[in-house]
Chains A and B, each alone.
Chain A
Amino acid sequence: MIVNNSDIISLVKAYTKDLFSYAITKVHQKEIAEDLVQDTFLSAYQAYENYKGKSNVKTWLFSILKHKIADYYRSKYKQNIEVGSDFIDTFFDDNHRWKPEYRPKDWGNENELLDDPEFSQSLMECFKKLPVKWSSAVQMKYLEEHDADGICSQLEITKSNFWQIIHRAKLQLRNCLELKWFKR
């Protein structure tokens, strides 16, 4: 297979910025977006012979990138971590009622919190502490704005599994915020 390197280099020069701008909105982390863009060009390089003008080159590169992003979420999600029942036991008693120390307290005026940048920052710090499997499900829910069906098929999980994970992630986030912000 003979690929002219100058061809691929001219593609890199023409499309790196566009691909990166797209990737960063989907994964929200600079390093990961950069890796995905680089992988896109490496794949494009390998597949170039097959491609040769079959479709618009930009469309072609974006379709490779979209596959890379889907793969990224799938692999991130697959990195283990069971939703353990012992986790439930942290928050709830034997009858699955709130344990007194974990019972959600009144946070006061939610509208004020909504517009408080520091509160929002605390939330994102809590988000970063979530197990990887949960955070990828949460991230997809709010990032992609697409429906549960789409997310479930991308992550290869069932719908009930999906909202169970979101539920557990929320419990964790809520508790983390209460500890951080309202200091028991």
Chain B
Amino acid sequence: MLSCFKATELMEMKEHVPLGLIKTMQLHMHTVMCSGCRNYKKQTKLIDELLRRNFKTAPVVADTDELETGIISKFQ
């Protein structure tokens, strides 16, 4: 039986490498029985999606005139 720590770690690992049959089944069994990890699973997906959205929208490009003047002054 997997621990909750290990189960949540496997959920993350799964994003990066194939888990293999045994680990996949262990994770499935654990998640079926553990409500905490079931909630975690939904929440980690939500967090993934929100972070992806947040980092995708680049901050508004500010006026770069001041930066330009600042850099030029270093060369004068």
Contacts and interface: CB of A to CB of B under 8 A. Distances in A.
Interface of A: 5, 8-9, 12-13, 16-17, 20-21, 24-25, 28, 30, 34, 37-38, 41-42, 45, 88, 91-92, 95-98, 103-107, 110, 113-114, 119-120, 123-124, 127, 138-139, 141-143, 148, 159-160, 162-164, 166-167, 170-171, 173-174, 177
Residues of B contacting A: mostly? helix
B50 A123 contact: yes
A170 B44 contact: yes
Residues of A contacting B: mostly? helix
Q: Say which size band chain B's interface belongs to.
A: 35 or more
Contact of B71 (A12, A28, A139, A164): A12
Contacts of A103: 35-36
B21 to A, nearest CB: 20
Contacts of B32: none
A105 B12 contact: no
15 contacts: A9-B72, A17-B64, A25-B58, A91-B5, A95-B3, A97-B4, A104-B37, A104-B39, A123-B54, A141-B51, A143-B55, A163-B9, A163-B12, A174-B44, A177-B43
A38 B71 CA distance: 6
Contacts of A25: 58
Contacts of A37: 67, 71
Contact of B9 (A16, A24, A164): A164
Interface of B: 3-6, 8-9, 12-13, 15-17, 35-37, 39-40, 42-56, 58-59, 61-62, 64, 67-68, 70-72, 74-76
Enumerate the 5 nearest inter-chain pairs by beta-carbon distance, A residue then B residue, closest first: A96-B3, A96-B5, A104-B39, A103-B36, A167-B12
B53 to A, nearest CB: 7
A24 B54 contact: no
